[in-house]
Structure 1
Amino acid sequence: GVSIPVIAIIGRPNVGKSALFNRIVGDHSAIVSDEAGTTRDRHFARADWNNRQFWLVDTGGLTDDPHIPMDVEIKRQVMQAIEESDLLLLVVDAKNGLHPSDSRVVTLLRESRKPWVLVANKVDDPSTTDFYEFYELGAGDPIPVSAVNGKNSGDLLDVIVERIPIMAEEVPESLRVAVVGRPNVGKSSIINRLLGEERLVVNDEAGTTRDAIDTPMAFHGRQLIFVDTAGLRRQSKVSDGIEFYSSLRTRRAIERADICILVLDAVEGLHNQDLKIASLAWDSGRGLIVVVNKWDLKEKDVNTAAKFEVECAEKAPFLKFVPFVFTSALSGQRVTKILELLIEVDAERHKRISTSQVNTTLEDIVGRRQPPQAAGREIKLNYATQVETAPPVIAVFGNNPDLVQEHYVRYLHNGFREAWGFRGNPLRIIMRRKSA
């Protein structure tokens, strides 16, 4: 569950930030990971060089507002990039030389004390290019590249990997929890309630928020770590924040967590965006708990809570297997319930069912409904075993695994669920060929 560092490409317009981003991300030498949920966005992608992984962020082209002076916009972008990333690449244009706003960006970088690297783009031939004016930026030798033809991008990647801060490994026994959800659903108030208000004294000086990125807490003898609590507090501070950062932050938090708490707004119900986040967590094999916040503001009629759950499960069937907690933002009632559920969902996550029990259940499920023949061939399911925990995976062995239809695999899944629960966790069923 190690945190994957974020590297932001910054610089004024037209220096080739996006070209450099596409070069690194599209370059076959820097493999872009296609793990579940890491598909690239227009602005960020996951790359990997010499076995070091990182997120690359392109801050380019974010304004089309003619009323905002360019320098104000660049400053806003750079400040946000500094806040959100672990290493910055300042791209300058070697063809057109030093520009006053390059120097202004360097001043911001200096004040931030974050590591950064100067990259001179549009260098077709380093031996004939004059870099001396860039030396006055005081950043030593710029790394010459040509984003368009890919010259030297390997050297740049080497430097990036050298300069990436080594992220600390987490304590293995701890239970890592990410609180996720759309902006303004009340994630911070939930986190504050869970941790107790006094825990959230945050130092606002630049460069300090990153250190206290996670918040540990003990509950029932377990060490819980709430990941990226710094990001949540920041989100409430930055009202005009650049949108895609919060999406990248959600992905990183999910990636590092064992269990995700998805916070929904009771009045607004389950939005498309909520659904995306829930699916991302579920498809990444994370445990999931849904907290419905601001429940006190919802018009009540009989059994609204049950109705709310049913409505959510209609939009996303997997939510049938996920525990819901209904809480009030103001009184903070039922917060201990959330902590108890974390422990419970974690236990379900690590639950291992003995092979003999799994087989008894399989016989029972198949006894109730045989797998339908496919292409006139009979399908026999011989035995099953749980091959993994966290999240649980059950392998079912048979004579023609490829012919078992999707709806029957779902039927098996529901049968195992009914027997064993695995509440709050995705359960995968994989079909395997029985060895002769």
Structure 2
Amino acid sequence: MKPIIAIVGRPNVGKSTLFNAIARRRKAITDDMPGVTRDRNYISAEWNGRAFILVDTGGFEITADSNIARLIREQTQMAIEEADAIIFLMDGREGLQPTDIDIARMLQQTSKPVFYTINKVESAAIERNTAEFYQLGVEPLHTISAKNRTGVSDLIEKVIASTREALPAIEAVDTETVISVIGRPNVGKSSFVNKLLGYERLLVSDQPGTTRDAIDTVFRYKNKNIRIIDTAGIRRKSRVSLRVEQYCIMEALNAIRRSSICLFLLDAVQGVTDQDQKLAAEIYEMKRACIVVVNKWDLIAKDHKTYDNYIRAVFKHIPFLDFAPALCVSALTGLRVRKVLDLLEAVEKTYNQNVSTGEFNRVLTSIIARNPMPRYRGKNIKVYYGTQVGVAPPTFVLFTNAPQQIPEHYQRYLEREIRAQFDFAGTPIRLLFRERPKR
């Protein structure tokens, strides 16, 4: 699973610059004006073969009446709660500031690894002046220049090493099934959960983000315990805080990681948005089983073709989730809400399904015969045999003479056909290509 690494600090200390340096691409908008980051930035990144999710917690919108200290405390508290490791960034040019001391005091209360980092150390004079940061009473202090990328590699290596004992991907108890309700604020997650459970378990309001925390509820269905996480999307913030959509990211990512099945909620009126696509991509990247639930269907004018046409339009925007079954529901009226439980049962079964090696190879041979593997530099690529090596998700190893040369489009073809032949509805499939062991 991917650990979450959060960068925290007051405005204009270089959080977005460090984010870009670690992510190795210019994704965040950087500027010299404090608070310039207008959107929460998060990205799936990799460093020397170690995958992780990097979050830039900058971006609160500064106004004349903004309570900056409170906003920074909110950011820092969220990082403490949700991240697996924290980089606390300070400014070596400006020196130690009262706000830095406040943040450090908060971070000293957590047992999570915190890396106290002084940025913009770009000369010997600045290096000498960093001695004042020892007033914080913490060691070690890391000195870097995110702009010049000096010291960044050593820092991120140490941060990644500290996350190797991150939380398990799925926190199920015995035979408990853990599912998460994922979606943008105000798509009706809490209303949907309430209707599913049959009572008002969660705070519901027309205002986005009124669920204050991620809430777990355990219930029984067909003699099985199901733990359902309402991701909140998600906590309530004041008007001068980050937009609610920006606060939801780490909580949503953690909920996806904890669950085996994601109920991905969309708003039928608004359709698929950019934020929806980002969340869908994370579900796919983490290889979670998924059911797409289109809420507020009662607000859509319909004829006999509306349902099918709408579902087709949804998957045009999120084609990487085309393995997921979809339902159009209304949390308000209860339309089809209970049908989700029956789908959950079917999807969990396929997510944990095993296929015998003999049966798998018979089907694999037929799939390749219908659409032969492309040649690579005049060389025939052969798949000798395959076998299933895991479940949740179903994972298969295919032994071949050219494991690095299988085109992505052909990998997708194999995945689609294997899913169709073995009825892996609702679950992603992981294909691993290996050289055939030498005899």
Query: TM-score, normalised to structure 2's length?
Result: 0.69
* Contact persistence 1:359–1:385 (CA under 8 A): yes
Query: What aligned pairs does 1:293-308 form with structure 2 within 5 A after superposition?
Result: 293-308=295-310
- Deviation of 1:298 (Å): 0.7
Counterpart residue number, 1:311? 313
Q: Residue 96 and residue 371 in structure 1: after superposition, are their counterparts in 2 closer, same or farther (change >3 A)?
A: closer
Q: Residue 358 and residue 236 in structure 1: after superposition, are their counterparts in 2 closer, same or farther (change >3 A)?
A: farther
Deviations 1:333-391 (A, max 9, x none): 32222222222211101101112222332344455x25167366666655433233221
Query: What aligned pairs does 1:32-71 form with structure 2 within 5 A after superposition?
Result: 43-44=41-42, 57-60=55-58, 62-63=60-61, 67-69=63-65
- Deviation of 1:420 (Å): 1.0
* Contact persistence 1:178–1:226 (CA under 8 A): yes
Query: What aligned pairs does 1:2-401 form with structure 2 within 5 A after superposition?
Result: 4=3, 7=6, 9-11=8-10, 13-15=11-13, 43-44=41-42, 57-60=55-58, 62-63=60-61, 67-69=63-65, 72-86=67-81, 105=102, 109=106, 131=132, 140=137, 144-148=141-145, 170-171=171-172, 173=174, 174-200=176-202, 214-227=216-229, 229=230, 231-234=232-235, 240-242=241-243, 243-366=245-368, 369=370, 371=372, 374=375, 381-397=383-399
Secondary structure of the residue that 2:184 maps to in structure 1? coil
Q: Residue 155 and residue 339 in structure 1: after superposition, are their counterparts in 2 closer, same or farther (change >3 A)?
A: same
- Deviation of 1:421 (Å): 0.8
What is the total number of aligned residue pairs between the two structures? 401
- Deviation of 1:307 (Å): 1.6
* Contact persistence 2:324–2:427 (CA under 8 A): yes
Secondary structure of the residue that 2:201 maps to in structure 1? helix
Q: Residue 256 and residue 302 in structure 1: after superposition, are their counterparts in 2 closer, same or farther (change >3 A)?
A: same
Secondary structure of the residue that 1:339 maps to in structure 2? helix
Q: Residue 298 and residue 119 in structure 1: after superposition, are their counterparts in 2 closer, same or farther (change >3 A)?
A: same
Give the superposed CA RMSD: 4.9
Q: Residue 68 and residue 307 in structure 1: after superposition, are their counterparts in 2 closer, same or farther (change >3 A)?
A: same
Deviations 1:55-86 (A, max 9, x none): 665444644x5x425x6234223324324533
Structure 2: runs of 5 or more not aligned = 25-38, 205-211
- Deviation of 1:187 (Å): 2.1
Deviations 1:237-271 (A, max 9, x none): 87853454323333333233211111111122233
Task: Work out the CA distance in 2 between the residues paired with 1:321 and 1:285.
Answer: 11
Secondary structure of the residue that 1:199 maps to in structure 2? coil
- Deviation of 1:281 (Å): 1.2
Secondary structure of the residue that 2:185 maps to in structure 1? coil
Counterpart residue identity of residue 9, structure 2: I
- Deviation of 1:198 (Å): 4.3
* Contact persistence 1:371–1:379 (CA under 8 A): no
* Contact persistence 2:183–2:233 (CA under 8 A): no
Structure 1: runs of 5 or more not aligned = 27-40, 203-208
Task: Work out the CA distance in 1 between the residues paired with 2:331 and 2:60.
Answer: 34
Deviations 1:167-195 (A, max 9, x none): 68834543222222233222222233334
Task: Work out the CA distance in 2 between the residues paired with 1:145 and 1:377.
Answer: 51
Counterpart residue identity of residue 144, structure 2: A
Secondary structure of the residue that 1:340 maps to in structure 2? helix
Secondary structure of the residue that 1:333 maps to in structure 2? coil
Q: Residue 330 and residue 271 in structure 1: after superposition, are their counterparts in 2 closer, same or farther (change >3 A)?
A: same
Counterpart residue number, 1:33? none
Percent of counterpart pairs with the same letter?
34
Deviations 1:281-316 (A, max 9, x none): 123211111001000111101132222222233344
Q: Residue 45 and residue 354 in structure 1: after superposition, are their counterparts in 2 closer, same or farther (change >3 A)?
A: closer
Pick which of 93-102 and 299-308 moved more: 93-102
Counterpart residue identity of residue 85, structure 1: I
* Contact persistence 1:8–1:85 (CA under 8 A): no
Task: Work out the CA distance in 2 between the residues paired with 1:118 and 1:201.
Answer: 37
- Deviation of 1:10 (Å): 2.5
Task: Work out the CA distance in 1 between the residues paired with 2:141 and 2:320.
Answer: 50
Structure with bigger gyration radius = 1
Task: Work out the CA distance in 1 between the residues paired with 2:130 and 2:45.
Answer: 29
* Contact persistence 1:7–1:54 (CA under 8 A): no
* Contact persistence 1:131–1:142 (CA under 8 A): no
